[in-house]
Chains A and B, each alone.
Chain A
C-alpha cells in the first residue's frame, strides 16, 4: 500500500510541475525543428506532433487535477509571489489551456498535408503554442505582457509566411498595431505598479481596494482595456484583423483565429476579474457602461461588415470581431451567469472558428473556391466538407443544441439578470445578424447549382450527352486533401455540437472560481 501512496505523491509532485512544463517544453522544442533541419529534411512535423501530443496529455492531466482537487499554483524558482513569478492553473485558465493544447494539436493534422511545410513554420508554431499557454497560466501582469509578445511575434512570422506579398503587408500592419496594443497594456501595468508596488495578480487584487491613488488604478484600467481591445480586435480597433486572417496561409488561419484573440480575450477577463475584481468594476462610474458599449458596438459593426464581404475568409474574420464583442459585452455585465457564458463562448468560438477556417482551406484546395459565390454547388460535389461547414455555421449562429447557443444563452441570461435590456436585445439581434452572413453561404452551398462559368479553373465542357448537371465538376485538386484535413473539420463540427450539451458541466466546473470572484 505504501508504494501506491508514494506513487501518488510522486505524481502529485509532477502535477505541481505541469504548469512549468506546459510552457517550457514547446518553447525549448521550438529550436529543435531548425536545429535538426541542418541535418535532416522535414523533421518539423514530427517534432511538433510529439510535442503537441505531450502538451495535450499534460493539459488533460492538469485539468483532471484542477477540476477534482482545485487550483495548482507554482512559484517559479521558489521565490515568494510578492516579487517572484507565479503560474496559476485554476478553473478558468485550465479551460483555455485544454482548448489551446487540443486545437493546436488538431491543426497539425491539417498542416501535415495542407501545409505550410518547412521547419521554420513548425518552430514558429511551437513558439506560438508556448506563448499562448504562458498567457493562460501566468499569474503576473508583467509576465503576461512578455507572453503576449512571444505569441504575437510568432503570429507575425506565421502570417508573413503566406505566398503573396500581401501577407507581408498584412503582417506588418498587425505588427505595428499589435505592438502598440501590447505597449498600451504595459503602460497600464506601469500605473498599477505605481499605485500598488506589486505585479502579482493575487497581490494586486488585495492591494487595489486599499490603494491610496484610485486615480492611478482607474488610469491603469483604461490603458489595459484599450490595449486588450486592440489585441482582441474590437471595433474600431479591429482594422488589422481581417487582412491578417485573410492573407495568412490556410494552415495558419485556424490556429491564429481560434487561439490568439481567444488568449487575449481570456487575459482581459483574467485581469478584469482576478486583478480589478467585480467591486472595482461596478463601483467605478461609467466603467461597465463603456465596456458593454464597446462590446455591443463590435457585435453590430462586425456582423454588418461580415455581411458585405465576398471573400469567405474575410467574412469569417469580421464574424470574429462580432463574436468577441459578445464576450467583451459579457465581461461588462459583471455577473456570474454572463461570465460563465463568456467562458463557454470563448471555448466554443475557438473550436468553431478552427473548424471553419480549416474547412475554408480544405475547400480552397479541393474545390478551388474562395469567395461566397464560388461556393455554389459545394454540397453536391463535396458533401462531407459542405456538411461539416454547414454544421459549424449553424453552431455559430447559435441554434440549439450547439455550443454557440449555450454561450449566447448564458450571456443573454446574464444581460437579463443585470437588467441591461439594450444588451439583451443586441445579443438576440446578433443571432439574426450571424444568420444573415451564414445563410448567404449556406444558400450558395446547398441551393445554387455550380456553374462551370463561375469556376476559378473552368473545366472542359461537359460531354455532348447533355450532362445531368449533378456530375462532379472538375475543379480544384480533390486528391490534395488528406484524411487529417477532413478529420479536423469533422471533429470540430462534432465537438461544437457535443459541447453544447456540456453547458451545465461548464457551470459546475467553473463554480469554484466564479464563486470566489463574485463573493
Chain B
C-alpha cells in the first residue's frame, strides 16, 4: 500500500508535482498515464526515494519514506531507462545485487531464465542493446518477490516475444494480489494488465478511478477511446476529479 499526501516537488523554477494526493491499494493494478513531462517518473522516483520531495509525505506499507530505506525491500522497480555500470558483466551484476540483498534468500528466476539471461552471464553491460538492458531491469525487479511493483514503461524496446513473457508475468503477479503500478504509452498493454486509471496532467492528478468507471463516465466501450476522451478533457480544461 502506498499513500501520498500533499506532495510538492520543484526542479528549479519548474513545479513538477503540485500538491499531489494519491492512494495505491494492495491487490489493485494501476495504469499511470499522462502526457510527457506530466510528472509520472518524478512521482515514481519520489516513492523510491531517488528524488527527495520538497514537502508532503509518502507512506509505503505504513512506513514514512523520508530518511528511511528499509521499505524499499518490498518494492520491485523497473526504471524507464535502465542504466548499469558499464564494465560489469551480467552475471556479476546479478551476483552483486543478490549479495547485497540479504533481506531475501529465495529468488524468482523465471524472467531471468525466460529472457535467456542465464546464457549470457559473461556479457559486459556496455555491449547490451536497449532491449536486453530492459530485460535485465525486468529480471532484477521481479527477482526478489516484492509486494509492490513499480514499472516505468516496462515494455518499451522489448521484442514481441519478451513483451508477451513480461505481460504474462505481470498478470500472474497481479493475480497473486500484488500492488502493481505501470506507466506506459502503449494503451493495449495497460488495458490488458490494469484495472485502475490514474491520469496526471502538469503535476496534478486529473483522473483517479477504476477503468470501468472511466468507461462509464466517458461513454466509451474501448479503453483507448476512453483515454482519448480523457486527454481531450484535459486539453480543453474540463475539470475532473
The answer to whether A binds B is no
Q: Give residues in A with beta carbon < 8 Å to B.
A: none
Q: Give residues in B with beta carbon < 8 Å to A.
A: none
